[in-house]
Amino acid sequence: MSEKLQKVLARSGHGSRRELESIIAAGRVSVNGQVATLGERIDTNAIVRIDGREVNIKQPEDVVCRVLMYHKPEGELCTRRDPEGRPTVYDRLPRMQGARWVAVGRLDVNTSGLLLFTTDGELANRLMHPGHEIEREYSVRVFGEVTDAMMRKLKQGVQLEDGPAAFKEIKRGGGEGMNQWFRVVLTEGRNREVRRLWESQGVQVSRLIRVRYGNIKLEQGLPQSGWGELSLKDINYLRDLVELPEETRTFIDPRQGESRQKRYSRARRINAQKLQQRTPGAKVEEAAPEQRKAPRKNSRRDQQRDQQRDQQREPQREPRNPRGKTPSKGKPSSRSNADKKRKPSGRQRTRS
């Protein structure tokens, strides 16, 4: 049975449907040696290459759906590689063979909070599709005076550059002075939509945290840049939201599952070790094995400097006198000629 190329690649974990469609349209995918076209259908025996590299095609029964909860900090980019070498959310995720993590939506560099990753590209595509109207809840700190009239207007809807937008819910969350906290809910994920909605009312967002996606909440205790794998129950909840069949397999063994405290403490230790590699002066709970080894001195200049230092530490020997006797420290090694003349010889003392 043949299926659409982007659907097969998404199911095999090579990206979301949206990402793969742009890759196919750019001519980077080939099927059986021919450049693929968008919407092309393939069978199970097709040889597919992306950027000239053959990729693995999985059957539906061979794919195990996994979902990670990730606590994104501010400053990390939602991209696989950054030309400027800045940190990305993919740097901290567990490595896999034969599959890769696909992000469910994005958060901009200045936004933190809950970010979901999955190995099922079809699940990611459906969760991001605005037609399913899955709720995203954010905690927002706004700088400026916010009136009840502004809140009603944001809930009714305002016109943005890419069309009308509105909050499904908006509630005050406390705060003092010009900095006020709010809880807002959206059912779509357009670029910087929360920030642009507030800016349309003449105020600025100074802090933005995603705390919920659907019914999946950011767990308390999960450190920034830490991740946790969702249970089979939560995975099937997400699949049911977008009308996908249930998953029956999982990588989590309930009999040997780690407690949250143990899993989160391990995430904190790993994050601290990675911070130590970037900033050598930082303290970590346990140094990595590579960091415990003494640094090797490969430089010839370092070796010469060490030799000179060792020579300076060794005590200097005083020169020996002609008779082979070492004079005592602080006394002259031989008498002067004047002293020899003043002292009578042994024969003169016996005669007197």
* Alpha carbons 303 and 286: distance in angstroms, whole number: 31
* Alpha carbons 62 and 57: distance in angstroms, whole number: 10
Domain count, the chain: 3
pLDDT for 290: 33
One domain, residues 156 and 207: yes
Q: SS in 3 state form for 96-157?
A: CCCCCCEEECCCCCCCEEEEEEECCHHHHHHHHCHHHCCCEEEEEEEECCCCHHHHHHHHHC
In a domain, 228, yes or no: yes
End position of a domain, from candidates 178, 198, 213 = 213
pLDDT for 186: 95
pLDDT for 294: 40
End position of a domain, from candidates 167, 187, 213 = 213
One domain, residues 233 and 181: no
One domain, residues 103 and 239: yes
* Alpha carbons 192 and 154: distance in angstroms, whole number: 15
One domain, residues 27 and 43: yes
In a domain, 238, yes or no: yes
* Alpha carbons 348 and 92: distance in angstroms, whole number: 99
One domain, residues 32 and 101: no
Residue 310 appears among annotated catalytic residues:
no
In a domain, 317, yes or no: no
For residue 107, what is the domain's CATH number? 3.30.2350.10
In a domain, 297, yes or no: no
One domain, residues 102 and 232: yes
Tens digits of residue pLDDT in 180-202: 999 999 999 889 999 999 999 99
Ranges of residues in the chain with a pLDDT under 50 are 255, 259, 261, 282-298, 326, 330-331, 333, 336, 338, 340-341, 345-352
pLDDT for 263: 56
pLDDT for 286: 38
Q: Which of 249, 138, 252, 235 is nearest to 195 (CA)?
A: 138
One domain, residues 209 and 139: yes
One domain, residues 10 and 113: no
Helix (H, G, I), strand (E, B) or coil at 195: helix
Question: Domain residues for 26?
Answer: 3-60
In a domain, 263, yes or no: yes
One domain, residues 125 and 233: yes
In a domain, 148, yes or no: yes
One domain, residues 258 and 203: no
End position of a domain, from candidates 60, 79, 97 = 60
Q: First CA to last CA across the chain, in angstroms?
A: 136
* Alpha carbons 351 and 314: distance in angstroms, whole number: 53
* Alpha carbons 153 and 146: distance in angstroms, whole number: 11
For residue 16, what is the domain's CATH number? 3.10.290.10
In a domain, 93, yes or no: yes
13 neighbors 99 (Cβ within 8 angstroms): yes
Q: Which of 62, 108, 162, 240 is catalytic?
A: 108
In a domain, 333, yes or no: no
One domain, residues 198 and 83: no
The pTM assigned to this predicted structure is: 0.65
One domain, residues 44 and 103: no
